[in-house]
Structure 1
């Protein structure tokens, strides 16, 4: 596989490790996990941290909107689009408290395009966020 298959978006948040925003394989685009962080900033939309970097409070709605914005930025930079999403895996750190709000916001963004979806609760994510998405989209050859 060559480096031409690696796709990065200048506007999306920098990866927190050695991985691309996305990788094209055939007519599929595989996105790495995408959270709500903003490029070039330590601030995370909807998250308030204490002096030791622990989550003091968070707004799942603000994080959802930011994640979906980041997904769109990556898709478009790679030559795909929102309506070409075919599979979405959602990781939530608090399914009990956040699922209802997340599910309502998800329905707003995906009312016209309905990719397959899996939502799972996990213990935590590598940065102090409450949601991350892993997506697959089609991409024109």
Structure 2
């Protein structure tokens, strides 16, 4: 049996899906981006009048996406330390990998206890964001 979870402190999903789904002692998070949960704005984005992105700050977006992941984990009864696997989607791997990696190291200073990670370069995401995370956590007790 699985349980869908919606986190009030995280940005609303951009589609019809839960923030996370718990199956036994595993927690699967849907793709999470850096949108602000209150204003829905994207940290670090500067846009032209027509809405196209003029420039963005990958580190501001990375810190925001980590905060959103934390909010979903907490709403799910999980902790940061429960993360076991993270897939990172970057829209500009060449430009953003190094500065993103610096923020990753702030969040997970000890590589021995950090979750596994795969980073993938993609051409676009469904909103004008430069990063999205897909996470799996292992909870201590199954329901």
TM-score (norm 2): 0.93
Greater mean alpha carbon deviation, residues 35-44 or residues 75-84: 35-44
How many Å separate the matches in 2 of 1:91 and 1:32? 13
* Greater than 2 Å deviation, 4+ residue runs: none
Supply the RMSD in Å over aligned alpha carbons.
Answer: 1.1
State the partner residue of 1:29. Answer: 27
Task: Indicate whether 1:123 and 2:123 are aligned.
Answer: yes
Structure 2 residue ranges without an equivalent (≥5): none
Shift of 1:40: 3.5
**What secondary structure, in the 3-state scheme, does the structure 2 residue paired with 1:79 have?**
coil
Judge conservation of contact 2:73–2:79 (CA < 8 Å) in 1. yes
State the partner residue of 2:11. Answer: 13
How many Å separate the matches in 2 of 1:15 and 1:72? 15
Shift of 1:48: 1.2
Task: Indicate whether 1:136 and 2:136 are aligned.
Answer: yes
Judge conservation of contact 2:34–2:61 (CA < 8 Å) in 1. yes
State the partner residue of 1:44. Answer: 42
Structure 1 residue ranges without an equivalent (≥5): none
TM-score (norm 1): 0.94
Greater mean alpha carbon deviation, residues 40-49 or residues 22-31: 40-49
- How many residue pairs align between the two structures? 139
Judge conservation of contact 2:93–2:121 (CA < 8 Å) in 1. yes
State the partner residue of 1:114. Answer: 114
